Amino acid sequence: MMKRFIVLSAVLLMLFSLCATHVMAQGAGNGKQKSSPPFLITGKLPHFTKLLMQQWDNVKLDLTDEQKSKLLVVRKETIAGAQKLGREIAPLEKQVVEEIFSGETPDELQSIVQAIAKLKAEATMLHLRCIYSTSRILDQQQVDFLINL
């Protein structure tokens, strides 16, 4: 009777551990994994394209038609590039999460992590180019307006 209890307890403990690991891997149990930004630097650089869309017709920003035309090109290129990189990064991140919880070692995951880092560096450069290009289209007053939002 005691052996049966110990075996049953061990099996239940193992099942609970596996379930808990799975829940943690899915992001606190909500079943949905939140998409993270594809950039290395997050929360510190302005997202000018987003800010501009929110302030597009703001009289204080006072965008000219020529500026709007150029800014739309920068926005289109930036968003397309970021989305493409995000689609490449997401499955690699998922693979790392799945494999670390299935017993792979950090050394075995190093090449995937390096690939993610390279893609995120590329996305960060895309973000920096967007900021730079946008700053060249706007005058200093407009840039300051956006930064101070």
Print pLDDT tens along the chain (149 aa).
655 545 444 443 444 444 444 444 444 444 456 678 899 999 999 999 999 999 999 999 999 999 999 999 999 999 999 999 999 999 999 999 999 999 999 999 999 999 999 999 999 999 999 999 999 999 999 999 999 99
pLDDT number for residue 73: 98
- Is the pTM of the predicted complex or chain greater than 0.85? no
Going by C-alpha positions, the residue among 120, 143, 144, 124 that lies closest to residue 45 is 124
- Tell me which long-range contacts 48-53 makes (C-beta under 8 A, separation of at least 24): 48/130, 48/131, 48/134, 48/135, 48/146, 49/74, 49/75, 49/78, 49/79, 49/130, 49/134, 51/146, 51/149, 52/134, 52/146
